[in-house]
Amino acid sequence: MAKMEVKTSLLDNMIGVGDMVLLEPLDEDSFINNLKKRYDHNEVYTYIGSVVISINPYRSLPIYTPEKVEEYRNRNFYELSPHIFALSDEAYRSLRDQDKDQCILITGESGAGKTEASKLVMSYVAAVCGKGAEVNQVKEQLLQSNPVLEAFGNAKTVRNDNSSRFGKYMDIEFDFKGDPLGGVISNYLLEKSRVVKQPRGERNFHIFYQILSGASEDFLCKLKLERDFSRYNYLGLDSAKVNGVDDAANFRTVRNAMQIVGFMDHETQSVFEVVAAVLKLGNIEFKPESRVNGLDESKIKDKNELKEICELTGIDQSVLERAFSFRTVEAKQEKVSTTLNVAQAYYARDALAKNLYSRLFSWLVTRINESIKAQTKVRKKVMGVLDIYGFEIFEDNSFEQFIINYCNEKLQQIFIELTLKEEQEEYIREGIEWTHIEYFNNAIICDLIENNQTGILAMLDEECLRPGTVTDDTFLEKLNQVCATHQHFESRMSKCSRFLNDTSLPHSCFRIQHYAGKVMYQVEGFVDKNNDLLYRDLSQAMWKASHSLIKALFPEGNPAKINLKRPPTAGSQFKASVATLMKNLQTKNPNYIRCIKPNDKKAPHIFNDALVCHQIRYLGLLENVRVRRAGYAFRQAYEPCLERYKMLCKQTWPHWRGPARAGVEVLFNELEIPEEEFSFGRSKIFIRNPRTLFKLEDLRKQRLEDLATLIEKIYRGWKCRTRFLLMKKSQIVIASWYRRYAQQKKYQKIKSSAIIVQSYIRGWKARKLLRELKHQKRCNEAATIIAAYWHGTQARRELRRLKEEARNKHAIAVIWAYWLGYKVRREYRKFFRANAGRKIYEFTLQRLMQKYFLEMKNKMPSLSPIDKNWPARPYLFLDSTHKELKRIFHLWRCKKYRDQFTDQQKLIYEEKLEASELFKDKKALYPASVGQPFQGAYLEISKNPKYKKLKDAVDEKIIIAEVVNKINRANGKATSRIFLLTKNNVLLADQKSGNIKSEVPLGDVTKVSMSSQNDGFFAVHLKEGSGAAGKGDFLLSSDHLIEMATKLYRTTLSQTKQKLNIEISDEFLVQFRQDKVCVKFIQGSQKNGNIPTCKRKNNRLLEVAVP
């Protein structure tokens, strides 16, 4: 029997109903019960057709592993159980294979898990797309943009510890292969009012707490901050610490993410300086003062905070102080300056803090877009991910909730339109007759809000621009006049009499019947928040800052670009942004993720029916199901349908030979399903009622049980037959082996008997031969013994004769020796007394020298060249020898130590030796450089993409690369430059762009001048008349002066064979174009600590103050 292909399905092992379109009966209670049942079994995802419902589990689940990614990769949407990966894979494959731009819309209220859902979508797409160094870098930058935006745009609220307080839409761009090329991020309506005030139980934006918790003490000191949260008025203390959140670790993560995304160190520093300035703005307090003319004005109580803010931002203190105290109004050619009272001053302070932080956030988004944008100009496919705030209904709803709910109305409108459009297109594509579906169209609510003539936003803008006294009450009066008859607008003071007795509606409120339910808005603050007014004096003060980032954030403060036209209101800006977003979404194929929060306690395993019911209503999920079920509740391609249900018909089981559609027709006719319950499309079967599908599933389940019984019966029969045949085969084998064994035993017995007989015969023959050999051996031994005795007797006789002869000769020799000795001693006595002293002296001296060398051998010092130990001299007469030995030993061990050096170490020590000869006892900075290794390449030019242009421009090997400060002759201020030294040239390049500013051949360098003090200033003198000397000499400052001067000296000597003149003097002349300027070094105290400063005294003198 052919092996049946087994596939998993949405309908297999289903807990509850995986797709709400199949839910029977369909009502609110059954909908909630189905969600609850699946949630209790850790099934947090459920479908409504192609829409994914995601319930926040408030804990980690093992369903996002790399194995799960591979499981859902390239699988049909309904092939596996509901999962966010299934929707992500469907969107990615549609983009890659069908060339359709996609968008994924993630909605839900705060705390429902929208941000985590967007992360999961992006991580899945990153995991399944292509690999490669460039592709991986793009994916990493796209993923690492999230921690940065979360730190600056998220905050703890009563509903969510990591609530997004802005809307984010990211377009991820892909090439034709489906590999990511880059992305573009758009942000909407940052809740900047949170900067200055947070509701009880909530925090400010994460970044404030992360800096104070995770930054080092030195970094906080640079930012003029303290670690104590209570020191800052803008930070609420009741929720400063969040359980399970490590702000210090998150700060390190944010800094690392900024580096990966592409922020340079100075940009990161500038961002944190702006954040610190915002934090310190909240500590500025005002006191009232009365002027002579009777007008009230305000003064700053404590100017220390203002001073530190000005030092951080580079703003003149008097300019900022005046901007907080006065307001200048310009009209055509007239300027009127008025004083600000205390309330107005506090409003100006908070407005500046909100605008500063809001513009910083927009700048961050723009900067991230610059890093992650696609570098190629080829045609790109786009996948958009929308993570935006859900519908909000609070006890107190203000302008922010009004704007957010307006956005959700527009999203609901496009959701219904695109869902119906998608449904209609599929019916037309499959040849199924389309019937009109009745549904609630919320276009009337959108028109109530956005109509250009009578819309609420238009009237709010009109009221803000109207001359005269404008308040929130006048705005409400205008609404009562214009919107009184609108069926979705209610107000206590409305002219429509049916609301006059509604005591639940306060006088200062109005109510709108949204698609998600009624929401009551308090008009207090609508006008001010819509105006979003920042006084021009503050804008101009910010533009005057020397801080480059702050100056860029306030371009309208430039006096040369003053625009008297009123800036657009917050409402009109957001309306335009929403219109652009809707236009963008309508060009893409939509995919929806509806996020639901199960409880308000942020705890797992708790399912609050009332809360979930509220969210189901305002998300319109039941209406979505009804739209999907208005035609056909279930549809499936013919191939998987036939594969799943083919066992229900004898004609299609086990294999159908023919087209899949024909097989499905045969199957349905065999099962006698009414024709009105299904329709055949071009590629799919459409089933009208879920009951029909469940009937098919029940029949399939019963048939599978029957098939399992049949398979079990056949298997048991096969198993018994196999066992019988195996036993029969085993009996035959055993019998054959026994017969073989019996014959082997008989053969072995006969063989052993023959061997015994053979052994006895061979033993008898061997013993007979042995006896004969022994007799012959005894005869031979007897003859040998007789001969030996005879030869011994002859030898002993000859020995006695020789000994006698030898004794006679020895006696003669002894007598003669004694006689000669006697003669010698008699002659020697004459000279013994004259030579005995000298001989004894030489012997004693030789013995002392021997003892000296033996002791030296045991007392030798270590082989370290810096070891000064040497054994003491034992005898005075060995003084010169002792010193010479010490010198020879030191030279020998130095040679041994030098032999251990590599070529690189020898080069380093040669440079250090050269530096010693040039600067020892001449330059006060030299001792500090002795212990520092000469590295040369302090800038990673080859690794940093910013310097790619500079790397391509320099073909030679770079000997030294470092950032130096080039001193301006006009004012003595320093400008950062990249100093490069190659074998033939000295180059100066711009640090930001990498463009080469100056290139000087080494032959044109005539001299290097520096002071004898502890500073890093030096001047490079150029040959007069050379091409490089057009602008004059270079006056530079470096933290590695000794190393730079040494390498320049050695390189010049190597290339030009001439020694470079190193002049060390506290006064020297520097040529600037046609003029000569004296550079003079003096001792003096510094405001900046131990950093030397350069100031211009006159046209001919630059004075450097050295601490």
Q: What is the rounded distance in angstroms from the CA atom of residue 572 to the CA atom of residue 570? A: 6
Does residue 1072 contact residue 1084 with C-beta atoms inside 8 Å? no
894: Cβ contacts below 8 Å, ≥ 6 apart:
865
What three-state secondary structure class fits 1017?
A: strand
Give the DSSP letter of residue 1038. -
Pairing between β-strand 51-55 and β-strand 1061-1064 as defined by DSSP bridges: unpaired
Identify whether 390 is a catalytic site residue. Answer: yes
HSE of 470 in the Cβ direction (CA atoms, 13 Å)?
A: 17
Identify whether 804 is a catalytic site residue. Answer: no
**Omega prior to 25 cis, within 30 of 0:** yes
Identify whether 798 is a catalytic site residue. Answer: no
Which is the catalytic residue, given 153, 390, 631, 1032?
390
* Per-residue 3-state assignment (H helix, E strand, C coil) for 576-644: HHHHHHHHHHHCCEEEEEEEECCCCCCCCCCCCHHHHHHHHHHHCHHHHHHHHHCCCCEEEEHHHHHHH
Please compute Rg for the chain using Cα positions: 49
Pairing between β-strand 102-107 and β-strand 381-387 as defined by DSSP bridges: parallel
Identify whether 1084 is a catalytic site residue. Answer: no
- Specify the length of the chain in residues: 1107
**Secondary structure E strands in 873-973:** 958-967
Which is the catalytic residue, given 150, 173, 297, 392?
392
Which is the catalytic residue, given 18, 49, 108, 111?
111
Which is the catalytic residue, given 50, 115, 239, 1051?
115
Q: Which amino acid is at 753?
A: S
Identify whether 631 is a catalytic site residue. Answer: no
**Secondary structure E strands in 437-508:** 489-491
Structure tokens at 1: 């029997």
* Per-residue 3-state assignment (H helix, E strand, C coil) for 375-397: CCCCCCEEEEEEECCCCCCCCCE
Structure tokens at 406: 């307006």
Identify whether 216 is a catalytic site residue. Answer: no
530: Cβ contacts below 8 Å, ≥ 6 apart:
399, 460, 461, 464, 569, 570, 571
Identify whether 74 is a catalytic site residue. Answer: no
Q: What is the rounded distance in angstroms from the CA atom of residue 953 to the CA atom of residue 947? A: 10
Which is the catalytic residue, given 145, 163, 358, 929?
163
Closest CA to 177 of 138, 205, 226, 145: 138
CA distances from 86 to 70, 76, 93, 108 (A): 11, 8, 11, 20
Structure tokens at 990: 């711009």
Given CA atoms 37, 41, 42, 45 in this order, what sign does their dihedral have? negative
Closest CA to 1013 of 1103, 1092, 1077, 1089: 1092
Structure tokens at 621: 């999920």
Does residue 922 contact residue 1064 with C-beta atoms inside 8 Å? yes
Sort 529 into a burial class: Cβ within 10 Å, 0-12 / 13-18 / 19+. buried
CA distances from 254 to 165, 226, 322, 363, 385 (A): 18, 20, 36, 16, 22
Identify whether 971 is a catalytic site residue. Answer: no
Which is the catalytic residue, given 146, 157, 160, 679?
160
Given CA atoms 708, 710, 712, 715 in this order, what sign does their dihedral have? negative
Given CA atoms 1083, 1087, 1088, 1094 in this order, what sign does their dihedral have? negative
Which is the catalytic residue, given 107, 164, 187, 1052?
164
* Per-residue 3-state assignment (H helix, E strand, C coil) for 1034-1050: EEEECCCHHHHHHHHHH
Active-site residue list? 110-111, 115, 160, 163-164, 390, 392
